[in-house]
Amino acid sequence: MRSVKLHLFLLCVAGVALLGYQCCDPSAKPQNGKFSPYWADTLTPNSVEAIKERHPNVKALASLSGWSLGDEALRWYNPENPKLWIDNAFTSLTSLAEEYHLDGVDIDYENFPRNNASFAYCIGELITLLKNQSVISVATIAPFHSTTVLPYIELFITYGVVIDYVNHQFYTDKVRSPKGYLAAFQLRATQFDKDKLLPSYEVNGRGIQGDAFSDALNLLGANIGFDVNGVMIFSADASSSNNYYYERKSQAFLTNSTSV
């Protein structure tokens, strides 16, 4: 049995709890890097602080962007002045991190223009600045099957040193068997650092479902060359109805490092 330092990441996402996105109004109009919170009223600075006090291993991350804000699709755009975008983003996220006791950010842009020229630079420099100034201690990225892999590969190649985990959304790879999941993981491991790549699961959603996901974790764990260093479960809202069954099984897998 290996020694595991287990952290629970409270990922605060658009429409669920917490979102930082480059807009300040419900129309999702870009605001040149000035991130604003869109989250449930119950998620307050005091509530985040209370959770972290009760559970010292919890780290709270703000998810930047996501697929949509209500009915409005969220999109990366190429800022006219990347340096100004980075400065604005750093200032607004520093304020949010201090107010809401945040430990990090999760980069979850899912729609890109055809001629994307600035994503890797802007996001990579932003993460670097946030870490260098000790605003955050954790940064993750969340690519998925179709529209986002290439921009995130470019980001990771240049700025992988400041990225802690790759939360690839494997449920978008449309694999439904443990062997298919292993093949998908092996592919993404060639595109990103295999030691930072996390398996993921969507509760009552797309891709592999039910205990087949546990079988996939066991297959990954048994595969020579792979150490599973974490699991991403989406989402807590869906998991609450079954007492967080998959989170519990995944935690057991990580702590036992044998079988679920």
> Residue 157 maps to which CATH number?
3.20.20.80
Tell whether the model's pLDDT for residue 3 goes beyond 60. Answer: no
110 is catalytic: yes
**Domain membership flag for residue 2:** no
Counts of helices then strands in the chain (DSSP H, E): 8, 11
How confident is the model over 214-228, as pLDDT tens digits?
999 999 988 867 788
**Domain membership flag for residue 96:** yes
Taking the C-alpha atoms of residue 22 and residue 8, their distance in angstroms, rounded to an integer, is 26
**Domain membership flag for residue 230:** yes
**Domain membership flag for residue 92:** yes
**Domain membership flag for residue 139:** yes
Predicted model pTM: 0.88
User: SS3 for 10?
Assistant: strand
**Domain membership flag for residue 186:** yes
CA 188 to chain centre: 15
Mean pLDDT score, 76-105: 94
Taking the C-alpha atoms of residue 48 and residue 102, their distance in angstroms, rounded to an integer, is 8
pLDDT score at 73? 79
Among 49, 72, 110, 125, the active-site one is 110
Share of the chain above pLDDT 90, in %: 54
**Domain membership flag for residue 181:** yes
**Domain membership flag for residue 3:** no
140, β-bridge pairs = 106, 165
Containing structural domain, residue 59:
8-255
pLDDT score at 8? 57
Q: Return the half-sphere exposure (C-beta side, CA atoms, 13 A cut-off) of residue 112.
A: 19
Domain count, the chain: 1
